[in-house]
Amino acid sequence: MHKVAHSGVTVHAGINIALVKYWGKVDSKQNLPAVGSVSLTLSEPGTTTTVRFDPALDEDVFELDGVTSVDPRVSALLDGVRQAASSTRRASVQSVNTVPTAAGLASSASGFAALGLAAWRAAQLPVHGPGSGFDLSPNANFDPRLLDLVRRGSGSAPRSLLGGFARLEAGTGALSAVRPDGEWDLRLVIGLTVAGPKPWSSRDGMDLSKETSPYYDAWVASHPADLDAACDAIRRRDLRALGEVMEHSTLKMHACMLATRPPLRYWASATLAALDVIDTLRRDGILVYATMDAGPHVKALCAAVDADRVREALSPVCRQVLVCQPGPGAVPGASL
């Protein structure tokens, strides 16, 4: 039986952006993906979370950006950690997001990666194989129970455990590193278009697409080739090849979403304006490529030397533009 520590553990994780997208589940209960994905983890924005298991607490306490919150997925993750540690101690969880407030930029990936790793460590459970310590090597072989809990929180969250380019497998949710951060000087320029809540959560949207979109099966069947092509381009550091397959993946996902009943139209007119800007930049010879998630914002991948030009071009059509760099994944943070 493990003894659960009273002292807190703090972890910071950056958000990640999928370059080849995850949309659809083979198993909604276990939140197992029907398609794989490959993403780039950013250093910022992200989430810093401190978890303390405290014998004096009668119930879990969760504070998000200074406000007491209730989230069943947070309680479920903590229950899973307690079960793994054979403990009944309740936890205090403090989380701070650096994702701009009300931006509508998903923070669940960085949130569940930081929470999962901090809680796992706070319960003194082994994160991965013996001898690897707290620093996560690029191919860190995470304890499958930890990966499982993080993925149940959010299907895209395990990718934020790893830095740089991370790959998740269809069906199993197995995680591997394709290339660590710092090895390829790229930027993701995030154009925040319109604010406001998403019309459909990813979770509900994925189920609806599977049930009703005539393009869902084609999306799933054509996905493995995109995943392999993207990983190959990442290994070769071929931005043109990566960018082309990345745009193809996001447009196919949105085609599947649009053909869902009721239609999942996440784009706003500013989304199309930003895509026009990116087309124009590309015609001017800049290698820059767009991806969109279940929301109206546009994320543009380019070389670091072109990031200022991309930011300037997107600024007139966006509310805010963030230039983000690759990050190290989930790492120790300063206690909250």
* C-alpha–C-alpha distance, residues 315 and 294, integer Å: 21
User: Segment near ligand DP6 (CB under 6 A), from 43-51, 154-162, 219-227, 235-243?
Assistant: 154-162
Binding mask 165-204 for ligand DP6 (x = CB under 6 A): -------------------------------------xx-
Q: Within 10 Å of residue 128's Cβ, how many Cβ atoms?
A: 17
- Please tell me whether residue 265 adopts helix, strand or coil conformation: coil
Q: How many residues bind ligand DP6 (CB under 6 A)?
A: 16
- Which of 25, 21, 40, 18 has the alpha carbon at shortest distance from 255? 21
Q: Does the footprint of ligand DP6 cover residue 293 (CB under 6 A)? A: yes
How near is the Cβ of 303 to ligand DP6 at its closest, in Å? 23
Cβ-closest residue to ligand DP6?
A: 155
**Which of 122, 192 has the CB closer to ligand DP6?**
192
What is the C-alpha to C-alpha distance for residues 100 and 35, in angstroms, rounded to an integer?
Answer: 29
CA–CA dist 66, 238 (Å, integer): 43
Phi first, then psi: give them for residue 308, nearest 5 degrees: -65, -40
Q: Which is nearer to ligand DP6, 31 or 95 (CB)?
A: 31
What is the smallest separation between the CB atom of 256 and ligand DP6, expressed in angstroms? 11
- Binder to ligand DP6 among 8, 10, 31, 93 (CB under 6 A)? 31
Q: Is 158 in the site for ligand DP6 (CB under 6 A)?
A: no
Nearer CB in complex with ligand DP6: 23/142? 23
Output the smallest distance, CB 210 to ligand DP6, in A. 12
CB 126 within 8 Å of CB 143 = yes
User: Is-contact 161 151, C-beta < 8 A?
Assistant: no
Write down the residue that tokens 């996001």 correspond to: 250
Strands of 265-327 (E only): list them: 288-291, 298-303, 320-324
Nearest alpha-carbon partner for 289 in 106, 2, 20 = 20
Residue 247 within binding range of ligand DP6, rule CB under 6 A? no
Does position 108 bind ligand DP6 by CB under 6 A?
yes
The one among 4, 9, 11, 18 contacting ligand DP6 by CB under 6 A: 18
- Show the tokens assigned to 293: 């998630």
Q: Which positions touch ligand DP6 (CB under 6 A)?
A: 18, 21-23, 31, 37, 106, 108, 154-156, 202-203, 206, 293-294
